[in-house]
Amino acid sequence: MEHEFLYLALAGAFGLFAAWGIGANDVANAMSTSIGSRALTIKQALFVAAIFEFAGAVLAGGAVTATIRKGMVDSAYFAAQPEILIYGMLASLLATGTWLMIASRNGWPVSTTHSIVGAIIGFSVVAVGFSAVKWTKVAIIVASWVASPLFSGIVAYLVFNSITWLILTRENPLERARRYAPIYIFLTVFLISLVTMFKGLKHINLGQALTTSECYMVAAICGGVVALIGRWFILRIPVDERADREFHFHTVERVFAVLMIFTACGMAFAHGSNDVANAIGPVAAILSIAQTGEVTQKAGMPIWVLALGGIGIVVGLATYGRRVIAMVGSRITELTPSRGFSAEFAASFTIVFASGTGMPVSTTHALVGAVLGVGMARGFSAIDLGVVGRIFLSWIVTIPAGAILSIIFFYLLRATLS
């Protein structure tokens, strides 16, 4: 195809920009509870993300991915003019990165999946027409804005209340924390393993080789092994009597800080394996079209494209993620390790449930809903409703914003490159 090198260069640059935006917003959001509860410092979170986000993106980011994200548009509409799809995908990457940069600058935790979906809707409408978009899928996504945060919020509320009832309100909370923490570790790793297999390893042969029952068995084994390791560390946490006099649950919260380290590692791997496709899916589509001159619904995923996405995600978190971390980790409600653990556990459970039922879900929406649920366990006064209102508004405008930016960039790119 004519201009093949130019298309590939632009795809690489814009894909890196979009991946940077995912790191600045989505990954920062995923790490915010660990940092906000002081289970991890920002430097430690960067270290965890650098290893596990990159590993998830490269090892399980997808050998095959749909060129049109989430089946929003039928690629057959572009068969006669493959260049139009290239311009649209480039515009979508640029629009996604731009919107994520704007949102991250303001500390808004938005859905990167919804950003790219909005961008694809935008250019498809102006390039082909409203009939090109599957509007029933858009309606399902809009419904998920309510369903996923509500579901994860209820789960987080129940989990934190279980911790309160089993541990925090008892006469010997530290002893009971040591007894029940391995059970929570088992459940956490069990869920994280399922998230990884259902939403990450499904992209590679291993995910296809395992049946649902085998996935559950592998997850149970992983949970049991990690629970034993966690118990070893928990039993060796020294009691700080002076700190416990100042804050009765100081040592107990250190137990939950151990749990959050496991949660942060698992969530980073699962996130990298799943959401990296938002940045590199369009890159793979452009690569396939530029090399073959034809539009296909599925395109191969070279390892260098996965690495590009992984690098962009880690750099985005390191350079621009602090505002979103602050928003979710400390401004919605005050988090401790036990509360942060409850939120991440609930978000993981929501993602597993959604994967099993086919319900579209945003990691961002699930985690924010879970943080709200933890706050609700302490009463409305524990939640900053002004912050929550701004976050909800950012969710509503994400798809329209992505669409408008994509339309602008589509016209600019078509005028410049055609």
pLDDT of residue 206: 54
* C-beta separation of 116 from 283 below 8 A: no
* C-beta separation of 128 from 348 below 8 A: no
Least confident of 77-91, 168-182, 279-293, 396-410: 279-293
pLDDT digits (tens, 9 = 90+) for 268-327: 776 776 677 777 778 877 887 877 777 765 555 677 777 888 888 888 888 888 778 777
Sign of CA dihedral 234, 237, 239, 243: negative
pLDDT of residue 208: 57
Q: Report the alpha-carbon angle 379-252-241, nearest 5.
A: 120
For residues 403 and 103, give the distance between their C-alpha atoms in angstroms, rounded to a whole number. Answer: 15
Print the domain residue range for 246.
4-417
3-state secondary structure 202-243: HHCHHHHHCCHHHHHHHHHHHHHHHHHHHHHHHHCCCCCHHH
Highest mean pLDDT among 7-21, 181-195, 242-256, 335-349: 7-21
Mean of the pLDDT values across residues 139-163? 87
Tally of domains within the chain:
1
Q: In the structure, what pLDDT confidence band is assigned to residue 409 with cuts at 50, 70 and 90?
A: very high
Query: What percentage of the chain has pLDDT greater than the value 90?
Result: 21
Write down the pTM of the prediction. 0.82
- Mean pLDDT score across all residues of the chain: 82
Residue 25 to residues 106, 111, 364: CA-CA distances in angstroms?
10, 8, 9
Q: Say which residues have a Cβ less than 8 Å from residue 241's Cβ, sequence separation at least 6.
A: none
Q: In the structure, what pLDDT confidence band is assigned to residue 359 with cuts at 50, 70 and 90?
A: low
> Can you read off the two tokens belonging to residue 296?
């296909």
For residues 115 and 267, give the distance between their C-alpha atoms in angstroms, rounded to a whole number. Answer: 21
Helix or strand run (H / E) with residue 26: none
Q: In the structure, what pLDDT confidence band is assigned to residue 210 with cuts at 50, 70 and 90?
A: confident
Q: Report whether pLDDT(67) > 50.
A: no
Q: What is the DSSP string of 149-167?
A: HHHHHHHHHHHHHHHIIII
**Phi and psi angles of residue 40, each rounded to the nearest 5 degrees, phi first:** -130, 145
Mean of the pLDDT values across residues 106-113? 84
pLDDT of residue 205: 53
Mean of the pLDDT values across residues 211-240? 89
> Can you read off the two tokens belonging to residue 409?
């960039």
